[in-house]
Amino acid sequence: MESNRNRISILGTGWLGLPLGKHLKDLGYDVKGSTTSPEKILKLKEFGIQPYLIEIDEKGVGENGAGLFDTDILIITIPPARNLERYKIIIQAITNQIQEKDIKKVLYTSSTGVYGNTAGMVDETTVLNPRGISAEGVIFAERAFQALNTDLTIVRFAGLAGENRNPGRFFAGRKDGTGGNAPVNFVHQTDCILIMAQIIKDNHWNEIFNICADTHPPKHLFYPFKAKEGSFDVPTFAQDNKKASDYKTISNAKIKAALNYEFKYPNPMEF
């Protein structure tokens, strides 16, 4: 297949970044990818992705990493570190490279965790209400990238599920859990990949999108069902007098309208 004009670099080729890179390569893009694992170099090469072994720290990206940032589009899929200050150092090193290499387009994978426990329907205009180090880290990253002179699109993913990632493990074996009527917010790996590829193909830049499946089954039905499916100990949930509207529900209306996108996995019960 003839290569597309845009060169794409993926910073972080883990559970999401690796299959994304393979998909983009199959679409004809020139794809580079980073990893911190020497063992993954061969896997990247097998997929036709040019590999870069990178460990980002206060010294920057190092000599090995410089070539990764020689690109037209940078996709950042690295999750926030447990140490917030370390994550800030990593993000600063990335922003330095974006500026130095004058990268024109950046796609950052954020999280709907930035909305915290906000009740009701949540869309991209909802005030951010982070709780915990992870949410604070991705908000820091969002703002750092927004301050740059580049076309930036942020995709805020709901809970990630799909290949080798069964949500049933989260509450496995727990008894009388709380919030049984809370609607769950999940998205399948396949939809994440297809949406990011379409954002790039159709040039949907300078946007923020929530990415979540269409339906939101209640916690007391979803987690026991997925636990059984994954052969985990089945959890139980105490009676909950709250309504679904008392909890957070992520709206995917904006992404569906912008891309005219139909989710391949609209129901988390069928992931």
Tens of pLDDT, residue by residue over 202-253, are 999 999 999 999 999 999 999 999 999 999 999 999 878 899 999 999 999 9
The identity of residue 69, as a single letter, is F
Q: What pLDDT does residue 254 have?
A: 98
Is residue 268 over pLDDT 50?
Answer: yes
Mean pLDDT of 26-31: 97
The identity of residue 122, as a single letter, is V
Tokens 């370390």 map to which residue?
86
208 strand-pairing partners: 154
Least confident range of 30-39, 68-77, 79-88, 222-231: 79-88
Within 102-188, residue ranges assigned H as helices are: 133-146
In whole numbers, what is the pLDDT of the chain averaged over residues? Answer: 95
Is residue 29 over pLDDT 70?
Answer: yes
| pLDDT tier for residue 3 given thresholds of 50, 70 and 90 | very low
| pLDDT tier for residue 1 given thresholds of 50, 70 and 90 | very low
Give dist(CA 9, CA 76) in Å, integer. Answer: 9
Q: What pLDDT does residue 5 have?
A: 67
Q: To the nearest 10°, the Cα dihedral for 120, 208, 110, 223?
A: 30
Q: What pLDDT does residue 66 have?
A: 84
For 257, counting Cβ atoms within 10 Å of its Cβ (0-12 exposed, 13-18 middle, 19+ buried), the class is exposed
Is residue 39 over pLDDT 90?
Answer: yes
Q: What pLDDT does residue 108 have?
A: 98
Is residue 78 over pLDDT 70?
Answer: yes
Least confident range of 59-73, 154-168, 180-194: 59-73
Other C-beta atoms within 10 Å of 194: how many? 17
Q: What pLDDT does residue 2 have?
A: 42
Is residue 19 over pLDDT 50?
Answer: yes
Q: Convert 62-95 to b/e letters by CB count within 10 Å (16 or more is b).
A: eeebeebbebbbbbbbbbbbeeeeebbbbbbbbb
Extended beta strands in 136-252, E state: 151-157, 159-161, 186-188, 207-211, 248-250
75 strand-pairing partners: 10, 107
